[in-house]
Structure 1
Amino acid sequence: MEKLRCISPIDNSLYIERPLATDYEIQNALSLAQRAQPGWAEVPLQQKVELVRGAVSVLQQKKPALAEEICWQMGRPIAFAGGEIDGYAERALAMAALAESALADIQLPEKTGFQRFIRRVPLGVSFIIAPWNYPYLTSVNAVVPALLAGNSVLLKHSAQTPLCAERMVEAFSEAGLPEGVFQYLHLGHRDAEQIIIGSDVQHVAFTGSVAGGAAVETAAAGRFISMGLELGGKDPAYVRSDADIEYAVASVVDGAFFNSGQSCCGIERAYVHHSLFDEFIERAIPLIQQYRLGRSDEPDTTLGPLVRADAADFVRDQIDEAVQQGASAHIDGGDFALDRRGSAYMAPQLLTGVNHEMRVMSEESFGPVLGVMSVADDNEALALMNDSEYGLTAAIYSADTEAAIALGDRLHTGTVFLNRCDYLDPELAWTGVRKSGRGCTLSSVGFEHVTRPKSFHLKTTL
C-alpha cells in the first residue's frame, strides 16, 4: 500500500505516515459527499453558523497540541505556530458573520404581477486542495464558505501537513456536523487529478504553485466547473519619501522574513525612495541580524528551517546568482550557525544592487531573502512594482492616503496595502491577477464563488 510520509524539516525524521486512499475509499468518500450534500443544503443557515462556531471552539481548545503539530510538520517556530489557530478562528468567525447577508436572496424592484428574485444555491461537492505553508489559514478560506453555502467538502491537504486535514474534520465532527458533509482524503497527485477529471465535484479550490494550478486547469478542461486558484506571488513594497521610516523598515522586514519567507503574500522585493534608501538599509540590517535561526521546537527560535533542503538551496542559488551579477549581500551567513548548503536551515539575506534582470527580483523565492532597489519617484516605483508576472498584493508606506489610493488604482494586484503587509482581512476579497491566480475567497464576494445564481421569475396574476 502506498503511503504518505511527512518528513519534518526540524531534523529530517519521519514525523507522520498515512496510507494513501485506495480507489474504493475515494469512490466511497465521493458518494458519501454527494449523498450528504442535499440534506446539508436544507439545514437552516443559522444552524450551519453555529456548527462553524462550534468547530472553531474545538480547535481553539486544542491550540497547544495543534501548534506543536504545525511546528513539526512544516517547521514554523513554536513561538508563532499557535497564532495560526487564532487566525483560523478570526477568518472562520468573520465568514460566519457575513453569511446571512452574503447568501440572502437578491430582491429586485417591484413589478406589477410578478415576483422576482435571485437565490444563491450551492454548487454541490467542493474539492479543496490545500498547501503546507499556512495549513489552517489557507484551507479555512475555502472550507468554511463552502460549508456555509450548503456544499459538502472533500479536503486534500499537502503531504507535508496531513494532520491539519484530519484535525479540521475531527473538529467539525465533534461540533455535530452530519456525516459525509466534510471529509479528508490523503491523495497522491494522480488520484487528485482523477477526481477533478472524472468525478461529479462541481467546485475546485487549489492553493499552490503556478505549475500545480495549470495541472488543475488541464484536469478540469471541458467540465465547466467552478474553480478558484491561488498561485504564486512576488509581492512588492514601496516606501515613499513621506513614510515613517522606522515603522516601514520594521514592517517590511517582518513581512519578508516571517515564516522564513514562506508566505504567498510575503514581501519579496522592496523599492525605497532614494532620499530614504540608505537609512532603510542601515535600519534593516540590524533588525535582520536579530533573527535567531534554530530548531522550530525551541521557544527562542524566530527563524525556522524552510520546508525542505532543496527549497532552501533554490533560494541560495538565486542569491548566489544575483551576487555574481553584481548584487551586494549585507548579511553574513556565518553569523547563523545552522546555515549551510544542503540544509533546510537558511540564514536570512538582504540584497542591494539588484535589478529585474536577476531571478531574485522576478522569480518567486518563497524564502528568507529581500532585494531592495532605490527609486526616484512614484512613477518609477509603480513601473517596477507592475513589472511582474504575478499580482497578489502590493504594500505602500506613506503618510498620504490619497496618494496611496491613486497609486493603488494603477497597481496590477489583488490587494493594495497602506502601512501594512502580509495580512488577510477576512472581510476583504482575497484574489490575485496574472499568474497569482483567479477566483476569490473571503469577504461577501467569496460566497459568490461557492454558489451559483438561480433566478426566480414568478407571474403572480393571470
Structure 2
Amino acid sequence: MSNSITTVNPTTGDTLNTYTLMDSSQAKQVVEASHQAFLDWRLQSLEQRAKIVKAIGKALTDHKEELAELIVKEMGKPPEQARQEIDLCAGICDYTAEHGPKKLADEERKPGNGERGFITYSPMGVIYGIQPWNFPAYQVVRYSIANIMAGNTVLLKHAENVTGSGLLLEKIYREAGLPENVFRTLVISHDISDEVIAHKAVRGVTLTGSDGAGRKVAAKAAENLKKTVLELGSNDAFLVLDDADLDLAVDTCVTGRVFNGGQTCVAAKRFVVTEANYEAFKERFVAKMTSLKVGDPNESDTDLGPMARVDLRDTLHDQVEKSVENGAKILCGGEKPEGKGAFYPVTVLDNVTPGQPAYDDELFGPVAALIRAKDDEDAMRIANDSRYGLGGGIISKDTKRATELARKYFDTGMVFINGFGVATPEMPFGGVKDSGYGREHGGFGMHEFVNAKSVIVVSE
C-alpha cells in the first residue's frame, strides 16, 4: 500500500504534486489537537465567531485567483466556473456571519414544571467531513463554516485528487484569523479515516459522495454511535411538460446537464419529456449539446473541460455502453477519446428505460438520458421512479401548477422551476431516499451538529 498521494492534471495527464499520507499516530495527534482547540473555541461568543467567519469570506476572495488556478489544475473545470465557486463560498461566509448569531441564540421557553427555561444550542466537539472533488472549495466551505459558526472544530478528509485545494483552504482559514487547529486537513487513507470516525473526540461525521460511500461511512459512524449528515448522489429528473416553452426547456436542460462538466450531484441528468414535445425537444436539445466544445479549460472558447480523473471517465463510458447494450440509442457522442487527459464527449442517449444505468443510476459526467412520457402525470411518475431524491426540475408555463407539483408530488429535497440552479446560502440543500439525509445551508447546517440543550430553572 502506498504511503503517498499523487495528484494529476486531468487536462494534460501531468503529475502535479505528491503528498505523504499521515500514519495512524499523526492523524490521532491532529484529532486530539482539534479537540483541545474546541475547548477554547466553544467559549467564544457568537459575535466573535461571526467576525472570523466573515474574515474567512474576505480571505477566500483575496485568494480567489490562487485557489481558482489550483482548482482548474486539480479537477479541470474552466477558470470562470472556479471563480464562481469561490464567490459562492464567500457568500456562504457572509450569510453565516450575518444570520448565525440569531440562528444559534438561546430560545426562551415557559416550562410547565418550573419558573423559566431556555434552549441553548451547545457545540458538540470535533466534526469530521469527508468531501468530494467536484467543487473543491465549495464542498468544504459548505459544512465547515456552519460548524465553525456553531462552535465546533472541523476536520477535513478531501478527495485525493484535490488534496492541494484542501491544504490551501486550511492556510486561508488560518490567515483569516481562525485559531490554530479549529480547522485541519487530514491527508489520510480510508483505513485511517475509519480510525478517525471511531475516535472518542469525534462527535459527528458528514460526507458528500456516492450512495455506496455513504452506506460505508454511515455504518462505521453508527457502530460508534456518531450522528451523520449524508449528501449523496442522484439522477435528478427535469420534466418538460405539455405546456413548456421549448426555448427555455432546451436552454435550461443543456445548462443543467453540462454545468461543471456534468459532475454535479444536483445536475439535471434524466430529461423526462411528454409525448407532445418529445421529438421537437430531442432535435433541438441534441443540436445544442453537439455544438458545445470540449477541450482545455484554459481556452476561452471551451465549454467543458475534462472529467476530473481518467478512471471516472472510464466508469462513465462503461455506463453508456451498458445502457446501449440494454436498448439505449446514442444520438451524439458516446465514443471514448484516445490520448492524454480525462476527456469525454457530450453525449445524449435516447430510448432510456428501466434496467439501464442511464435510467437507474447516476451518470456523473456530460451524458444526458432522454425519457419519453405519455403526459404530465406520467412524467411526474417517472421522475419519482428512482431510488434517489436530491433535486429535480419542472419546465411549464403554468408556474402555479408547477409549484403545486413540486410541493405535493416531487419526492426530492430540492426542485427548480423554469430554470436550473446549484446552491444558494439562503435555501436548504440535501435529499431523501438514497440521496441521503440532513440539510446544509439556509441556517439548517448550523443546527445539524449542536446539542439542543434544555435548561429549566425550577425555582429562583
**Matches of 2:272 and 2:433 in 1, distance apart?**
21
* Aligned position for 1:204: 205
Is the deviation greater in 108-117 or in 374-383? Answer: 108-117
Aligned residues with identical type, % of pairs: 31
- 2:399 partner letter: T
1:105 Cα deviation (Å)? 1.4
Pick one of 359, 362, 365 that aligns with 2:360.
362
Give the aligned residue type for 1:280: F
1:388 aligned to which of 383, 386, 404 = 386
Q: Secondary structure at the match of 1:100?
A: helix
The corresponding residue for 2:373 is: 375
SS in 2 for 1:282: helix
Query: In structure 2, what is the Cα distance between the partners aligned to 1:325 and 1:218?
Result: 33
Segments of structure 2 that go 5 or more residues without pairing to the other structure are none
| Structure 2 match to 1:33 | 34
CA distances 1:93-140 after superposition (whole Å, capped 9, x unpaired): 222222122111122248696111111111101111111011111121
* SS of structure 2 residue aligned to 1:82: helix
Amino acid in structure 1 at the alignment position of 2:266: C
The answer on 1:124 being equivalent to 2:122 is no
State the AA in 2 paired with 1:242: D
Q: Give the structure 2 partner of residue 325 of structure 1.
A: 326
Q: 2:306–2:343: 8 Å Cα contact kept in structure 1?
A: yes
Q: Distance in 1 between matches of 2:313 and 2:223?
A: 38
Shift of 1:51: 0.8
Please say which of residues 118-127 and 88-97 is displaced more in the overlay: 88-97
Single out whichever of 91-100 and 269-278 deviates more from structure 2: 91-100
> What number of residue pairs does the alignment pair up?
458
Are 1:118 and 1:453, in contact at CA under 8 Å, matched by a contact in 2?
A: yes
Q: Is the 8 A contact 1:72 1:297 kept in 2?
A: no
One-letter amino acid matched to 2:381: A
Aligned to 2:411: 412
Report what 2:289 is aligned to: 288
Residues 331 and 52 of structure 1: CA distance in aligned 2, closer, same or farther (over 3 Å):
same
* Whole-angstrom distance in 2 between the partners of 1:23 and 1:299: 45
- Residue 399 of structure 1, CA deviation: 2.1
Partner of 1:447: 446
Per the TM alignment, residue 312 of structure 1 is displaced from its structure 2 partner at its CA by 1.6
**Residues 50 and 101 in structure 2, CA contact (< 8 A), matched pair in contact too:** no
CA distance change for structure 1 residues 112 and 123 in 2, over 3 Å: closer, same or farther? closer
Change (3 A) 1:147 1:386: same
Amino acid at match of 2:348: L
What is aligned with 1:61?
A: 62
**Distance change (3 Å), C-alpha of 1:28 and 1:395:** same
1:270-309 to 2 correspondences below 5 Å = 270-309=271-310
**Letter in structure 2 aligned against 1:434:** K
User: Structure 1 residue 422: deviation in Å?
Assistant: 3.9
Match in the other structure for 1:82: 83
How far apart are residue 319 of structure 1 and its match? 2.2
Query: 221-230 or 390-399, which moves further after superposition?
Result: 221-230
Q: Distance in 2 between matches of 1:81 and 1:428?
A: 21
Deviation at 1:421, TM superposition (A): 2.4
Alpha-carbon separation, structure 1, partners of 2:13 and 2:340: 12
Counterparts of 1:203-352 in structure 2, within 5 Å, are 203-332=204-333, 339-340=337-338, 344-352=342-350
Deviation at 1:401, TM superposition (A): 2.6
Distance 1:237 1:87 in 2: 24
SS at match of 2:168: helix
Paired AA for residue 430 in structure 1:
F
Secondary structure at the aligned position of 2:118 is classed as strand
CA–CA distance in structure 2, aligned partners of residues 324 and 212 of structure 1: 27
Q: How far apart are 1:79 and its partner, in Å? A: 3.6
Relative to structure 1, the CA distance from residue 131 to residue 333 in structure 2 (aligned partners, 3 Å threshold; closer, same or farther) is: closer
Alignment-mate amino acid for residue 162 of structure 1: T
Q: CA RMSD in A?
A: 1.9
Alpha-carbon contact 1:78-1:299 (below 8 Å) kept: no
Amino acid at match of 2:432: V
- Tell me the equivalent position of 1:164: 165
What secondary structure does 1:395 align onto? Answer: strand
The amino acid of 1:24's aligned partner reads S
User: Shift of the alpha carbon at 1:282?
Assistant: 2.2
Unaligned runs of 5+ residues in structure 1 are: none
CA displacement at 1:359 relative to structure 2? 1.5
8 Å CA contact 1:79–1:301 kept in 2: the answer is no
Q: TM-score, normalised by structure 1?
A: 0.94
C-alpha displacement at 1:434, in angstroms?
Answer: 1.2
| Offset of residue 277 of structure 1 | 1.6
Instruction: Summarize the Cα distance change of 1:112–1:309 in structure 2 as closer, same or farther, 3 Å threshold.
Output: closer
Query: Is the Cα–Cα contact under 8 Å of residues 12 and 340 in structure 2 kept in the other structure?
Result: no
Kindly indicate whether the alpha-carbon contact (under 8 Å) linking 1:88 and 1:136 is maintained by their aligned counterparts in 2.
yes
How do 1:40-119 and structure 2 match up within 5 A?
A: 40-109=41-110, 114-119=115-120
Distance 1:404 1:304, change over 3 A: same
SS of equivalent to 2:181: coil
| Secondary structure of residue in 2 paired with 1:402 | helix
TM-score, with structure 2 as normaliser: 0.95
What one-letter code is carried by the residue in structure 2 that aligns with 1:373? I
SS of 1:275's partner is coil
Write the distance in 1 (CA, Å) between the matches of 2:416 and 2:184: 35
Q: Is the 8 A contact 2:317 2:334 kept in 1?
A: no
**Matched letter for residue 359 of structure 2:** M
Q: 1:79 to 1:426 in 2, by over 3 A?
A: closer
SS in 1 for 2:178: coil
Contact 2:12 2:341 in 1 (8 A): no
Q: Is the 8 A contact 2:263 2:365 kept in 1?
A: yes
CA distance 1:238–1:288, shift in 2 (3 Å): same
Cα deviation 1:173-213 (Å, max 9, x = unaligned): 11111112111111111101111123420011111122211
CA contact (8 A) 1:430 1:440 kept: yes
